Amino acid sequence: MRLNNLQLINFRNYDNLHLNFKRNINLLVGKNGQGKTNIVEAIYMLSFGKSFRTNKDKEIIKFGSENLYIGGNYLKNSSKGLIEVAIGNNKKGIKVNKIHIHKIQELLGNLNVVIFSPEDLKLVKDGPRERRSFIDKEISQIMPKYYNYLVNYNKILIQRNKTLKNRIVDENLLSVYDESLANYGAYIYVLRRDFIKKIAKISNEMHKKLTGNNEELLITYKNQINLTDEDTVKDAKDKLLSKLESNRQRDIETRMTKYGIHKDDLNIFINDLDVKLYGSQGQQRTASISLKLSEIELIKQEVNDNPVLILDDVFSELDETRQKLLVENLGDVQMFITSAELAHKRIFDESETAIFYIDKGKVTNIEDGGN
């Protein structure tokens, strides 16, 4: 899978930009604040329909403009595609192959993109929310209907928590919410369980490569209903519904929903020690890299093609040994790499690398003198 080109109109600090990309390495070099991350942000939007930097679409429209356009031609499993995103008048329109889509799940999975940023290096040591976000984002790319389950679950959770905050709580209404939460939550539990089992196996293999077979990485699913490998969706629903009902009075007292998929997490161990608590910073970073690499491999297995990889200012956070290990384990993945240092180009094969120099929203392709 690869992104062949990108067009931006009134996006962040770009008036009208058109870039053609190499199938292997695309290195975006420039000082901070010049527009490197803006380009990879736009690529991300072609995959997910939203920014990874803000939830407010109006913030990405160029100052003084009223609308923006992002377009990109891509190749997936030898089939060509075009994704376009337009934002204006507080509305967003997305087209896939010139056809308007009405739900984000219709966009997900067309162009698979994995982003690796400095924040991801803290994936292991940060809180459960970051790890849930990692899980949710990747399952949604592989299985767009998961995104629909998640949206519906979160809507009901918000309604249930609002009801719990009322002076007089309507328990009949809570029963209705509990049934719906258990229904959507059950599908999410089972899909998360199956995803984590796959990614745990792949990430352990990756981790062995990165550590010269000196460390074993063990990842398991931490959930509140003691889900087993044999449990069906119905089993998960029954377990979750039982939890919600048996803890209802406590939820009423605390005015919040204690149990559900919104509390899930990952257990992460290196050589039988909890790396979140006892791992060194180097071990935590290597475990995070293993997780991100396993994400790439799993997408490849599920869709029969490599995803596009964004490395946003990651190299500055890694020593040269880990930089090389990361690149060596990426194979023929198309990469978009932002860096403030041109020196990072020495890590890559020059014949497979396009270098774009970015200065104040102007992009120059160093290889051919202009873009």
pLDDT, tens digit (0-9, with 9 covering 90-100), for 42-98: 999 999 999 999 999 999 999 999 999 999 999 999 899 999 999 998 899 999 999
Return the pLDDT at 158. Answer: 97
Return the pLDDT at 371. Answer: 40
Residue of 51, 96, 94 lying closest to 69 (CA atoms): 94
pLDDT band, residue 342 (cuts 50/70/90): confident
Reply yes or no on whether the pLDDT at 370 is more than 60: no
Domain with CATH 3.40.50.300 in the chain: 1-112+306-371
Place of tokens 């949206």: 151
* 357 SS3 class: strand
* 24 SS3 class: coil
DSSP state of 164: H
Percentage above 90 pLDDT, the chain: 79
pLDDT band, residue 143 (cuts 50/70/90): very high
Across residues 3-29, what is the average pLDDT? Answer: 95
* Range in 70-84, 155-169, 304-318 with the lowest mean pLDDT: 304-318
Reply yes or no on whether the pLDDT at 365 is more than 90: no
In angstroms, what CA-CA distances link 313 with 104, 235, 339? 28, 44, 5
Task: Pull the structure tokens for residue 93.
Answer: 């329109």
Return the pLDDT at 212. Answer: 87
pLDDT, tens digit (0-9, with 9 covering 90-100), for 105-128: 999 999 999 998 888 888 898 999
Q: How many angstroms separate the CA atoms of 363 and 285, rounded?
A: 32
The amino acid occupying position 324 is K
pLDDT band, residue 368 (cuts 50/70/90): very low
pLDDT band, residue 210 (cuts 50/70/90): confident
Residues that constitute the known binding site: 30-37
Task: Pull the structure tokens for residue 245.
Answer: 């009902």
Give the pairing of strands 113-116 and 308-312: parallel
Return the pLDDT at 322. Answer: 77
* Range in 21-25, 71-75, 344-348 with the lowest mean pLDDT: 344-348
pLDDT band, residue 278 (cuts 50/70/90): very high
Task: Pull the structure tokens for residue 325.
Answer: 């290990």
Across residues 349-364, what is the average pLDDT? Answer: 87
Listed in sequence order, the residues at least 6 apart from 310 whose beta carbon sits closer than 8 Å to its beta carbon are 40, 43, 44, 113, 114, 115, 116, 117, 335, 336, 337
Residues that constitute the known binding site for ATP: 30-37
On average, the pLDDT of the chain sits at 92
Topology given in CATH for the domain delimited by 119-304:
Glutathione S-transferase Yfyf (Class Pi); Chain A, domain 2 (1.20.1050)
- Can you name the residues that pair with 358 across neighbouring β-strands? 363
The amino acid occupying position 227 is L
Q: How many angstroms separate the CA atoms of 248 and 330, rounded?
A: 48
Topology given in CATH for the domain delimited by 1-112+306-371:
Rossmann fold (3.40.50)
CB count within 10 Å of CB 69 equals 17
Return the pLDDT at 67. Answer: 96
pLDDT band, residue 249 (cuts 50/70/90): very high
- Can you name the residues that pair with 309 across neighbouring β-strands? 114, 335
- Sign (positive/negative) of CA torsion 50, 55, 61, 62? negative
Backbone angles phi, psi at 41, to 5 degrees: -60, -40
Backbone angles phi, psi at 26, to 5 degrees: -125, 105
Place of tokens 């080109």: 5
Domain with CATH 1.20.1050.90 in the chain: 119-304
DSSP letters spanning 93-127: EEEETTEE-SSGGGTTTSS-EEEE-GGGGGTTTS-
Q: How many angstroms separate the CA atoms of 248 and 67, rounded?
A: 47
